[in-house]
Amino acid sequence: MKQDQSKPSASTRLERDTMGELAVPADAYYGVQTARAIENFPISSLRMPRAVIRAMGLIKRAAADVNHSLGLLDKKPADAITQAATEVVDGKLDAEFPVDIFQTGSGTSTNMNTNEVISNRATEVLGGARGSKLVHPNDHVNLGQSSNDVIPTAIHIAASDMMQKELLPALDRLQKALQGKAKEFNTIVKIGRTHLQDATPVRLGQEFGGYARQVELGIQRVKQAQAALSEVALGGTAVGTGLNCHPDFSAKVMAIISKETSCSFKEATNHFEAQSAQDSLVEASGQLRTLAVSLMKIANDIRWLGSGPRCGLGEINLPETQPGSSIMPGKVNPVIAESVTMVCAQVIGNDVTVTVGGQAANFELIVMMPVMAYNLLQSIELLATASNNFSAKCIEGIKANEERCKSLIEESLAMCTALAPEIGYEAAAKLAKEAYKSGKTVRQVAKEQKVLPEQQLAELLDPWRMTEPGGPVGSAGG
């Protein structure tokens, strides 16, 4: 039989809010509004990411300090809030944040969850009983704030901080690993491919240099996302007017948090934009989606280049990480690259959710903040961990199969491209078709037909020369 939640028991305490009384677990730091949210949203197992909870702690701690400095909050409750908020920042109270992601669209339940946890812990620090509101969740912890400006601010802080501490270092490692391979493989000439068909030669190092540049541009995009996230809503309170908030509050709070996170945050130029929309989150998610597309391309190329080992392309050898088949002994699969592609698919899907969330902006408030937070932060986390793993367990251990690269070049019919400026496009195409039909190489057929003097033929069909600009000018293929 379900217990009557309006009555206390040995394991509960009775708390009151504006809607009446409700029993709350006696040992919980959260309070009545959180208990209502738990009842109202039994939707999923998804909870607000730790990074957002940490950011909420940073905001509440800085707010207490600033409100005290402005003469709005006495020293004793301010110090108690600071201590309690620090425990939230440090993760000591993570179990006290049980509210589902699929909750009120503004994130009010999470803001009140945070206010209640800090309130009760601060009350306890001052010698009071949990639930007594010696330090009040609204009047003290939430002083000068609204869920409508705190939640978007916390998401911006969490996302930018995760990018700074997790994603950018991971991408830097990946970029350096790829650039290192570009240098290592620069002397190895191989066949290029367009449309999955043979094309003119490239150096293996040039391919890897392209991958390195993709990641380098990805790093720039993440920094652009951080710039978009730098303006925050804090200070706008309920609808952007700043009602019940000291005019210096936001700037002072964000100065503290900028110093603590080593990320740049400032009060929004226009609070009505900052709270009624979240184009900045949509932009940041879009940059992450672009990065995911880049990593998908790189990971797929790595899989193809390492395919085989005997009946595929086999131009590179990937590190062996685990047995690849439950039925085929000795098979080893490109599992690290495959994990990257799945991460990329997830990030691309997450971006759709963030984009839809960004459209849920009605008048003065956007009402899909929690799910936008969850998907954006998951994307950052996945891209960071996958990039690190890709570097450590795949890219850094790749070896080139130089002999395979050489043998495939000579077999390629695209070698005829270098002859086109001298003998014409149609003659070169005819030569390639004859080579294919006879099973000979382009070089062999060209020699047999004496299309050019042997020395000139050797120069034109030098694979290394084909990997650099210059030489005779003519159509270069497609």
Write out the catalytic residue numbers: 195, 325
**Residue 100 and residue 46 in contact, taking contact as beta carbons nearer than 8 Å:** yes
**Residue 148 and residue 236 in contact, taking contact as beta carbons nearer than 8 Å:** yes
Enter the DSSP assignment of 318.
P
Q: Which residues pair with 21 in a beta bridge?
A: 16
| Token couple for 335 | 């599992």
| 3-state secondary structure (DSSP) of residue 317 | strand
Q: What are phi and psi of 62, to 5 degrees?
A: -65, -35
Name every residue whose Cβ is closer than 8 Å to that of residue 467 and which is 6 or more positions away in sequence. Answer: 189, 201, 202, 203, 206
Q: Closest Cα partner for 339 from 383, 285, 288, 376?
A: 383
Return the C-alpha torsion angle 58, 63, 68, 73, nearest 10.
-120
Q: How many CA atoms lie within 13 A of 119 on its CB side?
A: 26
**Residue 29 and residue 61 in contact, taking contact as beta carbons nearer than 8 Å:** no
| 3-state secondary structure (DSSP) of residue 361 | strand
**Residue 185 and residue 212 in contact, taking contact as beta carbons nearer than 8 Å:** no
Q: How far is CA 155 from the centre of its chain?
A: 14
**Amino acid identity for residue 428 in this structure:** A
Name every residue whose Cβ is closer than 8 Å to that of residue 453 and which is 6 or more positions away in sequence. Answer: none
CA distance 94 to 458: 70
